[in-house]
Amino acid sequence: MREIDTAQLPVGVLVIHIYMVTKSKMAQPDNRQLSRIDFTQKPDSVEANRIRSLVAHLDGVESTFFNVKDGILVYTYSLKKQNSIGVYNKVMSSGNYQAKRFVVDASQAPKGCPAMGGNGSFMSILSASITKIF
């Protein structure tokens, strides 16, 4: 049996990860959305947990994370049951908060996922190539 080269293992894991992520998107396109609310006046950890819990219990919200240090609430939701404006309005009506919805502007939209580093990056090209194979 041939030993696996240490460089082959991470590449193999990446290929499997990309396949698993893109496979579910192809089966059910556009069924979930990721959104964010930026708090300009950052709540303390107790208030942040209350806000996160409020959002987590809204119909259609699937997961939530509140970065207390940066004052950012990130959540995913089903497009069939919820929208970012509804979540934002619910949060704003539950307390006296200074916050705004994070909305991607037209110049950011074509760049795609920020984790991929843009259309010309190695990760972006590798991801697109693997997606075409599967």
User: Does residue 82 belong to any structural domain of this protein?
Assistant: yes
User: Does residue 7 belong to any structural domain of this protein?
Assistant: no
Predicted confidence at residue 15, as pLDDT, reads 77
pTM, rounded to two decimals: 0.63
User: Does residue 39 belong to any structural domain of this protein?
Assistant: yes
Distance of alpha carbon 118 from alpha carbon 108, whole angstroms: 10
Q: What is the CATH number of the domain that holds 37?
A: 3.30.70.100
User: Does residue 89 belong to any structural domain of this protein?
Assistant: yes
Predicted confidence at residue 11, as pLDDT, reads 75
User: Does residue 35 belong to any structural domain of this protein?
Assistant: yes
The residue assigned the tokens 């970012």 is 84
Distance of alpha carbon 125 from alpha carbon 132, whole angstroms: 11
Within 1-134, strands assigned E span 32-39, 61-67, 72-78, 99-101
- Structural domain boundaries, residue 79: 31-103
User: Does residue 96 belong to any structural domain of this protein?
Assistant: yes
Q: How many separate domains does the chain show?
A: 1
For 16-29, what is each residue's pLDDT tens digit? 777 776 655 444 55
Query: How large is the average pLDDT for residues 84-95?
Result: 95
User: Does residue 83 belong to any structural domain of this protein?
Assistant: yes
Q: Phi and psi of 70, rounded to 5°?
A: -100, -5
User: Does residue 17 belong to any structural domain of this protein?
Assistant: no
Instruction: Pick the more confident residue, 56 or 10.
Output: 56
